Amino acid sequence: MLWIFLAILLASIVIGLPIAFGLGVAALVMAVLSDIPLSIMIEQSIRGVNSFPLLAIPFFILVGEVMSNGGIARRLMELAGALVGFMRGGLGQVAITGSMFFGGISGSAVADTAATGAMMIPSMKQQGYTAANATAINTVSSVIGIIIPPSIPLILYGIVTETSISRLFIAGIVPGLLIGAALMVTTFILASKQGGGVRQFRWDRLWKAFKDAWLALVLPVIVIGGIIGGVFTATEAAVAALLYSLAISLLVYREFKLSELGGMLIRTARLTGMVMMLLAFATVIAWFLTINMVPQTLVRQVQAITQEPFLLLLIVAGLLLLVGFVMDLTPAMVIMAPMLAPIVTSVGVDAAYFGVLMAFILGIGLLTPPVGTCLYVGCGVGKVSMESLVKAMLPYYAALIVVLVVLIAFPGIVTWLPDLTAVRGN
Q: What is the pLDDT of residues 200-258, one digit of tens each?
A: 777 888 888 888 888 888 887 888 888 777 788 878 888 888 898 888 888 888 877 77
Which of these ranges, 4-13, 92-101, 320-329, 401-410, has the smallest mean pLDDT?
Answer: 4-13
pLDDT classification of 106: cutoffs 50, 70, 90: low
Which of these ranges, 97-111, 207-221, 361-375, has the smallest mean pLDDT?
Answer: 97-111
Evaluate if residue 194 carries a pLDDT over 70.
no
Evaluate if residue 356 carries a pLDDT over 90.
yes
| Residue percentage of the chain with pLDDT more than 90 | 18
pLDDT classification of 193: cutoffs 50, 70, 90: low
What's the whole-number average pLDDT of the chain?
Answer: 83
Q: What is the pLDDT of residue 196?
A: 47
pLDDT digits (tens, 9 = 90+) for 286-319: 787 777 777 677 777 777 777 888 999 998 999 8
pLDDT digits (tens, 9 = 90+) for 41-92: 888 888 878 878 888 888 888 887 887 777 777 788 788 878 887 777 778 8
Q: Flag whether the pTM goes above 0.85.
A: no
Evaluate if residue 423 carries a pLDDT over 60.
no
**Distance between CA atoms of 87 and 81, rounded to whole angstroms?**
10
Evaluate if residue 195 carries a pLDDT over 50.
no
pLDDT classification of 425: cutoffs 50, 70, 90: low
pLDDT digits (tens, 9 = 90+) for 153-171: 898 899 889 898 889 989 9
Which one has a higher pLDDT value, 296 or 328? 328
pLDDT classification of 396: cutoffs 50, 70, 90: very high
Evaluate if residue 336 carries a pLDDT over 80.
yes
